[in-house]
Chains A and B, each alone.
Chain A
Amino acid sequence: MTALVKLTDVSKFYGNIRALEGVSLEVHPGEITCVLGDNGAGKSTLIKIIAGLHQHDTGTFEIDGEETRLASPREALDRGIATVYQDLAVVPLMPVWRNFFLGSEPTTGAGPFKRLDVRKMRETTRAELLRMGIDLRDVDQPIGTLSGGERQCVAIARAVYFGAKVLVLDEPTAALGVKQSGVVLKYVAAARDAGLGVVLITHNPHHAYLVGDRFVLLKRGAMAGSHPKSGIALDELTRQMAGGSELDQLSHELERAPGPDVIGGRRIEPEPEESDKPGKSERVDEPEKDG
Chain B
Amino acid sequence: MSTATTARADERLVHRGVLRRMLGRPELGAVVGAAAVFLFFSFVADSFLRASSLSTVLYASSTIGIMAVPVALLMIGGEFDLSTGVMVTTSALVSSMFSYQMTANVWVGVGVSLLTTLAIGFFNGFMLTRTKLPSFIITLGTFLMLTGLNLGFTKLISGTVSTKTIGDMEGFGSAHAVFASHLTVGGVDLQVTILWWFGLVALATWILLRTRVGNWIFAVGGGSDAARAVGVPVNKTKIGLYMAVAFCAWISGQHLLMSYDVVQSGEGVGNEFLYIIAAVIGGCLMTGGYGSAIGSAVGAFIFGMTSKGIVYAQWNPDWFKFFLGAMLLLATLLNAWVRKRAEASK
Please list the residues of chain A having a beta carbon within 8 angstroms of any beta carbon in chain B: 51, 53, 73-74, 77, 83, 85, 88-94, 98, 101-105, 107, 114-116, 118, 123, 126-127, 130, 135-138, 140-142, 144-145
Q: Which of A90, A115, A142 contacts B343 (CB 8 A)?
A: A142
B212 and A107 contact, CB distance less than 8 A: yes
Tell whether, in the assembled complex, residue A92 and residue B222 are in contact, meaning their CB atoms are under 8 Å apart. yes
A91, B343: Cβ atoms closer than 8 Å: no
Contact of A126 (CB < 8 Å), options: B6, B219, B343, B346: B6
Q: Interface residues of B: mostly helix, strand, loop or mixed?
A: helix
Q: Is the CB of A105 within 8 A of B9?
A: no
Given A115-B210, A137-B13, A138-B12, 11 new contacts (CB under 8 A): A83-B229, A85-B226, A91-B223, A92-B222, A94-B289, A102-B230, A104-B230, A116-B211, A126-B6, A137-B9, A137-B12
In the complex, chain A residues whose CB is within 8 Å of the CB of B223: 88, 90-92
Residues facing A in B191-217 (CB within 8 A) are 206, 210-212, 214-216
A–B complex contacts, Cβ < 8 Å, 22 sampled? A73-B228, A73-B230, A74-B231, A88-B225, A90-B223, A91-B219, A91-B222, A91-B227, A93-B285, A94-B218, A98-B218, A98-B219, A101-B215, A107-B212, A114-B211, A115-B206, A123-B1, A127-B1, A130-B1, A137-B12, A141-B345, A145-B343
Task: Please state if B227 and A105 are interface contacts (CB–CB under 8 Å).
Answer: no
Contact of A141 with B219 at beta-carbon distance under 8 Å, contacts A90-B226, A103-B230, A114-B211 already known? no
Could you tell me if B289 and A73 are in contact, using CB atoms closer than 8 angstroms?
A: no
Chain B residues within 8 Å of A107, by CB? 211-212
Q: Which 10 A-B pairs have the closest CB atoms?
A: A103-B230, A127-B1, A103-B231, A91-B223, A91-B222, A88-B226, A74-B231, A115-B210, A93-B289, A88-B225
B232: which of A51, A102, A136, A138 is its contact (CB, 8 Å)?
A102
Q: Mark B54-87, 1 if CB is under 8 A from A, else 0.
A: 0000000000000000000000000000000000
Q: Are B219's CB and A102's CB within 8 A?
A: yes
Q: Are B9 and A102 in contact, with the CB atoms below 8 A?
A: no
* Cα of A118 to Cα of B226 in the assembled complex, Å: 21
Interface centre among A77, A123, A138 (most CB of B within 10 A): A138
Given A73-B228, A141-B346, A145-B343: A116 touches B212 (CB 8 Å cut-off): yes
Q: A91-B227, A98-B215 are in contact. Are A145 and B346 (CB under 8 A)?
A: yes
The docked-state distance in angstroms from the alpha carbon of A83 to that of B212 is 21
B41 at the interface (CB under 8 A from A): no
- Whether a CB of chain A sits under 8 angstroms from the CB of B16 is yes
**Is the pair A93, B212 in contact by a Cβ cutoff of 8 Å?**
no
Taken together as a complex, chains A and B put the C-alpha atoms of A145 and B5 apart, in Å, by: 22
B26 smallest CB distance to A (angstroms) = 10
Given contacts A105-B215, A137-B12, contact A126 B1 (CB under 8 A): yes
In the bound complex, what is the Cα–Cα distance between A113 and B324 (angstroms)?
39
Is the Cβ of A73 less than 8 Å from the Cβ of B346?
no
> How far apart are B8's CB and chain A's nearest CB, in angstroms?
9
* In the bound complex, CA of A104 to CA of B285 (Å): 25
* B211 and A91 contacting across the interface, CB-CB below 8 Å: no
**Contact across chains for B226 and A138 when beta carbons are under 8 A apart:** no
Give B contacts to A, CB under 8 Å.
1, 5-6, 9, 12-13, 16, 24, 206, 210-212, 214-216, 218-219, 222-223, 225-232, 285, 289-290, 343, 345-346
Bound state CA distance, A230 and B216, in angstroms? 46
Chain A residues in 8 Å Cβ range of B206: 115
| Known contacts A116-B215, A126-B1; is-contact A73 B12 (Cβ 8 Å) | no
Residues of A within 8 A of B211 (CB): 107, 114-116
A14, chain B: closest CB distance, angstroms? 17
| Closest-CB distance, B341 to chain A (whole angstroms) | 12
Determine how close the nearest CB of chain A comes to the CB of B289; give it in whole angstroms.
Answer: 4
Q: Is the CB of B229 within 8 A of A85?
A: yes
Whether A105 contacts B228 by the Cβ 8 Å rule is no
A116 / chain B contacts, CB cutoff of 8 Å: 210-212, 214-215
Residues of chain B within 8 A (CB-CB) of A142 are: 343
Shortest CB-to-CB span from A44 to chain B, Å, is 13
The docked-state distance in angstroms from the alpha carbon of A137 to that of B9 is 6
CB distance from B241 to the nearest CB of A (A): 16
A103 to B289, CA, bound (A): 16
The answer for the CA separation of A145 and B345 in the assembled complex, in Å, is 9
Question: B residues within 8 A CB of A104?
Answer: 230-231
Q: Within 8 Å CB of B214, what residues of A? A: 116
CB within 8 Å for A123 and B6 given contacts A103-B231, A103-B232: yes
Contact, CB under 8 Å: B226 / A73: no
A77 to B230: give the CA distance in the assembly, Å: 8
Cα distance, A196 to B339, chains bound together (Å): 39
Are B225 and A93 in touch, CB under 8 angstroms? Answer: no
Complex Cα–Cα for A85 and B346 (A): 24
Q: State the CA gap A102–B6 with chains docked (Å).
A: 22
Beta-carbon contact of B229 and A73 below 8 Å: yes
Chain B residue numbers with a CB within 8 Å of A103 are: 216, 219, 227, 230-232
Q: A110 to chain B: closest CB distance in Å?
A: 13
A114: chain B residues within 8 A (beta carbon): 211
* Contacting residues, chain B, for A123 (C-beta < 8 A): 1, 6
With contact pairs A130-B5, A137-B13, A145-B346 given, residues A51 and B229 touching in the complex (Cβ less than 8 Å):
yes
User: What is the bound-complex CA distance between A115 and B226, given in angstroms?
Assistant: 23
Given known pairs A118-B210, A138-B16, the reply for A88 and B229 (CB within 8 Å) is: yes
Complexed CA–CA distance, A130 and B7 (Å): 13
Residue from B6, B226, B343 with most neighbouring chain A CB atoms (10 Å): B226
Q: CB < 8 Å: which of B6, B16, B212 contacts A105? A: B212
Contact call A91/B289, Cβ cutoff below 8 A: yes
Q: For A74, what are the chain B residues with a Cβ–Cβ distance below 8 Å?
A: 231
| B290 contacts across to A, CB distance below 8 A | 93
In Å, the complex CA distance between A256 and B210 comes to 67
Closest to B206 in A: A115
